[in-house]
Amino acid sequence: MTLDLIIHGGYVITMEGPGTGIINRGAVGIKGNKIVAVGEEQDVTSRYTAHRYIAAKGKAVMPGFVNVHMHTGDAIVRSCAQDLPGKIWRFKGILPLLGVARDEDFAAASRLNIVEALHSGITTFGDYYSPMTEIVKNHIQLGTRAVVSGMINELPPDVSVVEVDQLIPLDPAVGQRKLADNRKLVQEYHESFGGRITCRYGPHSAAMCSEEMLREIKHLADQDGVGIFTHLVQTKEEVTQTRLRTGKAPVALLESLGYLNKKLLAAHMTYASLDEVELVARSGAALALCSTSISVVRGALPPAQEFAGFGGCVGLGTDQVCNCTNMFDEMKYAALIHKYKNHDATIFPSWKILRMATIEAARALCMEDTIGSLREGKLADLIILDLSGPQMNPIYERPIRNLVPNLIYSALGNEVESVMIDGNFVIENGRLTTGDEGAIISAVNRAAARISEEMENLPWTAGLPLAQWTRDGYY
């Protein structure tokens, strides 16, 4: 058989089996959008020919990273609401800033964030934002694999009226509009573009939706046969709000509504009790671990270790853009912060962390049969990494192999040389092939300049902590 492409001679990290499944001198054969062969270089090249060969000696070939939870449009206010007390971060930090942005600004920022993520080897995006009916077009054009949802809430248009210790005045009209947008997204884009785009429903949280809205979302998700993204027990305020509105804690409320099953991907659970963690883990629902984001906005750590200990599936996500969208950054921090938490260097070893960014992340999205590892019959989503940089050397193959620890603890992300999704290179030799990267960056900066000008003329912005710190010269 003649294949379209054989990548040969490099370290092939298959992520098959219980660990990482490395072949020291391996090869991957691709035809169309599928992987046809994975094995030793000599075996694959003797059995197949190809129209194109890529020599990968001194490089690593592995499945692309699966980012289970992110809000690409938030890049429009990157690092504009950091270093704040967790209690005020949302309603006195990021949401007022986002309220100044327009739909076209979110779409432009999403393009930027997607390109940034691609450069760090992310091939599948769990993107959860609004207006997703516009943002999804970025994934289509840039060639990514994406599981997308809107972000449904009933927050009032003016969040300055919100006080987190009092019951939030929800606006049903806002919720119905956002639900209608999410329904339109599912109807128009689910399993489109050869299955590269799939859709979910996305209630923001139990605190930001009425019980009636949560029931309606669950009904539509079941009717349409799709999964659900949500934030769950992300904040202490979420617990307070949900109890004030329904008399139940968030986990108990979602359980009563039938949310807790394998079609749910719950982000964070930062302030859940151990009993709640066990309940969700044993239900089959998956957890999105976004260590860097939660550390920046909450100074806290989600219970991923406990969730996994109860048999739950944990996938890594980069969440909103507090710093950067780089899976290498996320992997390293997740490993180190859990070691620090436990005073135990054996917790979350590098091989486990790499699985949480690939095959286990794919399982969290119910996609482990098609992505997350390099195996015959799976989709051709993979990355090629250049190991020539000083931070990746020396390389040991025996009796100790140090490739995986180097990827977690030493890599910077710029090792990613090429990125293939669905059998097509979207980044090749470091260059974006599906868009004009310079134009994408310029468009976001034009939007930021306009937002900045508008904010200077709004009276409430002067009272923002970061505005004060800027005036005082700290920023």
Q: What is the pLDDT of residues 414-439, one digit of tens each?
A: 999 999 999 999 999 999 999 999 99
Task: Read off the pLDDT of each residue in 365-377 and give the average, rounded to a whole number.
Answer: 98
Q: Could you tell me if 149 and 128 are in contact, meaning their C-beta atoms sit under 8 angstroms apart?
A: yes
- On the question of pLDDT at 38 being above 90, the answer is yes
H-only helix segments in 126-210: 132-142, 172-189
C-beta of residue 145 within 8 angstroms of C-beta of residue 196: yes
User: 390: which DSSP letter?
Assistant: G
Query: What pLDDT shows up at residue 88?
Result: 76
Residues 6+ apart with CB under 8 A from 344: none
Residue 94 pLDDT: 79
pLDDT at 242: 96
- The parent domain of residue 56 ranges over 2-63+373-432
Asked if 252 and 275 count as a contact pair (C-beta separation under 8 A), the reply is no
More reliable by pLDDT, 95 or 263: 263
Residues 317 and 416 in one domain: no
Does one domain contain both 25 and 82? no
> Alpha-carbon distance 360 to 373, whole Å?
10
Are both 107 and 200 inside the same structural domain? yes
Domain boundary among 316, 331, 365: 365
Query: Is residue 356 a part of any domain in this protein?
Result: yes
Q: Residue 79 — pLDDT band, cuts 50, 70, 90?
A: confident
Phi, psi of 82 (to 5 degrees): -105, 170
Per-residue pLDDT at 321: 63
Is 336 found in the same domain as 260?
yes
What pTM was estimated for this model as a whole? 0.96
Q: Is the pLDDT of residue 380 over 70?
A: yes
pLDDT band at residue 362, thresholds of 50, 70 and 90?
very high
pLDDT at 160: 62
Question: Does residue 203 share a domain with residue 116?
Answer: yes
Rounded CA-CA distance 91/93 in Å is 6
pLDDT tens sequence across 270-318:
999 999 999 999 999 999 999 998 888 888 999 999 999 999 999 999 9
Proportion of the chain above pLDDT 90, given as a percent:
85
Average pLDDT, the chain: 95
pLDDT at 95: 78
118 and 198, same domain (yes or no): yes
- For residue 464, is it within any domain? no
Does 276 share its domain with 386? no
Residues 131 and 21 in one domain: no
- CA atoms of 292 and 400, how far apart (whole Å): 30
Number of compact structural domains in the chain: 2
Arithmetic mean of pLDDT, 222-228: 98
Backbone angles phi, psi at 171, to 5 degrees: -120, 100
Q: Say if 475 falls within a structural domain.
A: no
Q: Which residue has the tokens 């207006």?
A: 131
Within a domain: 459: no
Q: Considering 309, 338, 365, which residue would you say is the last residue of a domain?
A: 365
Does 329 map to a domain? yes
Q: How far apart are the first and last CA of the chain?
A: 60
**Using 50, 70 and 90 to split pLDDT, how confident is the model at 159?**
low
Query: 333, 365, 397 — which closes off a domain?
Result: 365
The 8-class DSSP code of residue 71 comes to -
Residues 284 and 328 in one domain: yes
Q: Confidence class of residue 100 from pLDDT cuts 50, 70 and 90?
A: confident
Task: Determine, yes or no, domain membership for 462.
Answer: no
Same domain, 406 and 350: no
433 close to 417: Cβ distance less than 8 angstroms: no
Do 294 and 399 belong to one domain?
A: no
Task: Quote the pLDDT of residue 128.
Answer: 96
Mean pLDDT of 170-174: 95
In 414-465, at which residue ranges do the beta strands (DSSP E only) sit?
Answer: 416-421, 424-428, 431-432
- 219 and 352 assigned to the same domain: yes
pLDDT at 55 (0 to 100): 98
pLDDT band at 156 (very low <50, low <70, confident <90, very high): confident
For β-strands 431-432 and 424-428, DSSP reports them as antiparallel
In this structure, is residue 94 part of a structural domain?
A: yes
Say which CATH number the domain at 422 has. 2.30.40.10
**The domain spanning residue 265 has which CATH number?**
3.20.20.140
With respect to residue 165, please indicate whether it lies within any of the assigned structural domains.
Answer: yes
Residues 6 or more apart whose Cβ sits within 8 Å of residue 294: 234, 268, 270, 300, 301, 302, 319
Hey, what are 141's tokens? Answer: 């054009």
